[in-house]
Amino acid sequence: MSVVSMARAHVARLSGDLYGKLTDVEELDDELRDIKREIIESRGLVIKTNHLTNGLSADLKSIGKRQQTFERRSFWNSAASNLLFVIVVLTVVKVAWDFRTESVAREITHAQSEIKHLREQLETQQHFEDERSKAESAAAGFYELVRTGKRKELIQAFDAVSKEKLTRAERAYFSDEVKRGKSQLAVAGYHVGLDHLHAGRWQEAVSALEESLQQDDTGTHAASGRLYLAQAFRRLNRQREAIPILVKLAETSADPEVLDDAAFLLAQCLIDIQAWNDAKTALRSFIRRYPQSPFFNDSRMALADVEAKH
């Protein structure tokens, strides 16, 4: 082999190597460009990733804050709900308790009222029984006076026994007995007074007749008793006490037999006290009203005498 051939061969080899190296260099450049592009892309991706990470971090922070706000709001809402529930429950319990308390209080008040009413009824019944027992004892004692005919004691005891809790039948019976006793005493006193009057015991006659009228001033003897009482007063020179009795008898007496007697005795009493004008009036009235009276002539004579002197 010649030098030229060797040179050519070496050149060719060097060219091939150079070409290969150039090729390698070009490939390396391409790779470098790819790497640069990848690096640039990676850097962009890193930046984007950073941005995304920052955004995500911000979102996470925002979400965290929202979550905290939501949790806080949920906590307070829950607390408010629980508090409201507790308040409602307590209110319901209080209302129920108040209602129950009021109901129990009403029942207690009603029970106390019933107990008080029953006690009052019991006390009233006991008081009534005591009074009735006392009244029965008083009625028994009073009936004993009725049975034995003790009229004065009967009349004196009636005021006390009438205050007791008597039955209507007892009260009516006792009242009738007292009226009967008074009437009997009045009649007896009337006759005693007449006896004293006929015997000239004027003061005793006044006492007996007054007691008789006190016992019974409505009986059949009452008008005559008043007339005789007035006569006794005149005998005692107590004409001024006799005159009111006689005026009433002469005007309103239901017994016609005493009318003229009372009218004439009135005129005599007026003459006794020298009430001349009233005496004249009384005598004139007597003469006009009682022309058939046995005192008619006496009244005319008395009127003439009074008119002649006064």
Q: Which amino acid is at 203?
A: Q
Is 209:193 a contact under the CB 8 Å cutoff? yes
Cβ atoms < 10 Å from Cβ of 286: 26
Per-residue pLDDT tens for 25-41?
567 677 777 777 777 77
**Per-residue model confidence (pLDDT) at position 85:** 85
Largest CA distance in the chain: 235
Rounded-to-integer distance, Cα 251 and Cα 230, Å? 15
For 196-264, give the DSSP string.
HHHTT-HHHHHHHHHHHHHH-SSSTTHHHHHHHHHHHHHHTT-HHHHHHHHHHHHHH-S-HHHHHHHHH
Residue linked to tokens 């008043």: 226
Burial 133-150 (b: 16+ CB within 10 A, else e): eebeebbeebbebbeeee
Residue 149: C-alpha distances to residues 117, 153, 213, 219 (Å): 46, 9, 21, 20
Is 133:164 a contact under the CB 8 Å cutoff? no
Rounded-to-integer distance, Cα 219 and Cα 189, Å? 13
DSSP letter for 292, please: T
**Per-residue model confidence (pLDDT) at position 139:** 67
Please report, for the chain, how many H helices and E strands are present, in that order: 9, 0
Pick from 232, 229, 272, 275: nearest CA to 248: 229
Per-residue pLDDT tens for 228-241?
999 999 999 999 99
Cβ atoms < 10 Å from Cβ of 59: 12
What superfamily does domain 150-309 belong to in CATH?
Tetratricopeptide repeat domain (1.25.40.10)
Give the angle 59-64-65 at the CA atoms, nearest 5°: 100
**Per-residue model confidence (pLDDT) at position 164:** 67
Q: Could you say which residues of the chain have pLDDT below 50? A: none
**Per-residue model confidence (pLDDT) at position 61:** 81
Is 187:219 a contact under the CB 8 Å cutoff? yes
**Per-residue model confidence (pLDDT) at position 129:** 76
Rounded-to-integer distance, Cα 272 and Cα 266, Å? 10
